[in-house]
Amino acid sequence: MKNPIIFFGTEDFSAVSLQKLIDENFEIAGIITKPDSKKGRGQKLQSPKVKKIGENFKIPVLQPQKMNEIIEFVQNFENPVGILVSFGRIIPQEIIDLFTPAIVNVHPSLLPKYRGPSPIESAILNGDTKTGVSLMKLSKEMDAGDVYSQEEIKLSKTETASELYEICGKIGAEMLVRDLPKILSGELKGEKQDNSQAEYCQLLKKSDSILNQENQTAKQAEQQIRAFEIFPKSKIQIDDYLVVVKTAKVVNSNLKNSPLTLKFADGNFLEIKTLLTPNGKETTTQSFINGYLK
């Protein structure tokens, strides 16, 4: 392959594609990722996984504060092709234009459905029976570029966000390895999306985490718990405690009169199975009742 590859990515989801490309002997000329950030309870400075991979394989890594740094970096390469997987920043047209023939984006939905930053969470939250992964040409408009290929994924309605990220990550990586040579040779042409069918998903916020017994059905609450498993998580008030619900199931009654089996707007109940205590420890319903409610 003549075109040097510049890889844009930040999340763990990105690292799956980067590692697969390296394993399959694609030449990665450079990696562009976000600056290190503080994470976790201890707020320790952590590097993106793609940075660590780059360092392991002695690939130049750029962590830009400004877009001009990206332009200067990319201009060091002749006819570069870009690959973007969960980078976390909008790429302006002046940077897109530096790449030949394109920046190829891995997007975990069946575009034009779920354009935006939370397609995996949205598929679970809405109880979809299928989702997928799209390879698309990056465009200035969010997730609106021509689609090169798609792979459909059947959903069992039991998947958590972390499970679906893993599934989509592996499929997206395999699609890149399979289709990138055909994109660069011109054999695989992108098809325009039907903008009239576009659906959008939103950036998730901490305030989205609260479960609402008055406005949600029990099933919607259970879907939210699986969808928001990674972020922003799902919280509900139990007595004096705002707890994070880890796992739950829908039931039609509360025969045991459990304080952790909660009635929702449709008359059905959500039986909490596991949760995080106020000190952050995962525990079972019974252990929580014994430790906090008695």
Spell out the per-residue pLDDT of the chain, length 294, in tens.
578 999 999 999 999 999 999 999 999 999 999 999 887 767 788 999 999 999 999 999 999 999 999 999 999 999 999 999 999 899 999 999 999 889 999 999 999 999 999 999 999 999 999 999 999 999 999 999 999 999 999 999 999 999 999 999 999 999 999 999 999 999 999 999 999 999 999 999 999 999 999 999 999 999 999 999 999 999 999 999 999 999 999 999 998 899 999 999 999 999 999 999 888 899 999 999 998 887
Rounded distance, CA 244 to CA 235, Å? 4
> Residue 117: its pLDDT value, please?
96
> Residue 170: its pLDDT value, please?
98
Domains of the chain, first to last: 5-197 (3.40.50.170), 206-293 (3.10.25.10)
Tokens of 206: 């901490």
Which amino acid type is present at position 243?
V
Rounded distance, CA 268 to CA 281, Å? 28
Handedness of CA 46, 50, 54, 60 (dihedral sign): negative
> pTM of the entire structure?
0.95
Q: How far is CA 80 from the centre of its chain?
A: 26
What does R_g of the chain's alpha carbons equal in angstroms?
22
> Residue 1: its pLDDT value, please?
55
> Residue 255: its pLDDT value, please?
84
Tokens of 38: 């503080």
- Alpha helix (H) ranges present in 88-206? 93-96, 119-125, 161-185
| Residue 232 CB burial class (10 angstroms; 0-12, 13-18, ≥19) | middle
